[in-house]
Amino acid sequence: FGPWADVVEKKSGSPYADWFMIQDWDAFERHGDTRDGRFYSFAFTDRMPKLNTNNPEVIRYFCQVCKRWIREFDIDGIRFDVGNEVSHRFLKELRRQLKSVKPDLYLLGEIWHDASQWLGGDEYDSVMNYPFRDAVISYVRDGDCGKFSDTVTGICRRYPKCVLDGVMNFLGTHDTERILTV
């Protein structure tokens, strides 16, 4: 990613320095696990720095990239990996801009827990329904109808109908143990 390469080369002198969440410039060049807090990264991997998704320039950049994909390739949707680690500010502005280009664009968040706070109509259209997956597996394994019913009822109460109509129900993904082994 060009902005990160520029930061690696120019450190705090890079115009992209604020695009990332770097806490300790003195220790920035150290390689390996980032649990020491020198900068935020996904899974503490130094090769996957987290973007500062509250930065207006970062928001503007990704809005432009996504609009280009919509216009040039007529994409119908975007899935946000680890969607709960993207700022609300980013999602609200991205949605506003992208829906102005393609009103029926589908914005899907990968969130492994209750995603109610992202489903108010101004961020994601829907989410990957991990709680439902877990409820199905638990029911098949344990046979507890009451627990299954409580979980599904809870999902239905927390998520608006328009979300439920388009929620991504599944039993497995590349991120989960395969259904046949659980």
Enumerate the active-site residues: 81, 110
> Are the CB atoms for 83 and 127 separated by under 8 Å?
yes
DSSP letter at 49 equals B
In this structure, are strands 106-109 and 126-127 parallel, antiparallel, or unpaired?
A: parallel
Nearest Cα to Cα of residue 163 among 114, 105, 131, 124: 124
DSSP 97-139: HHHHH-TT-EEEE--SS--GGG-SSSS-SEEB-HHHHHHHHHH
Burial (Cβ within 10 Å: 0-12, 13-18, ≥19) of residue 6: middle
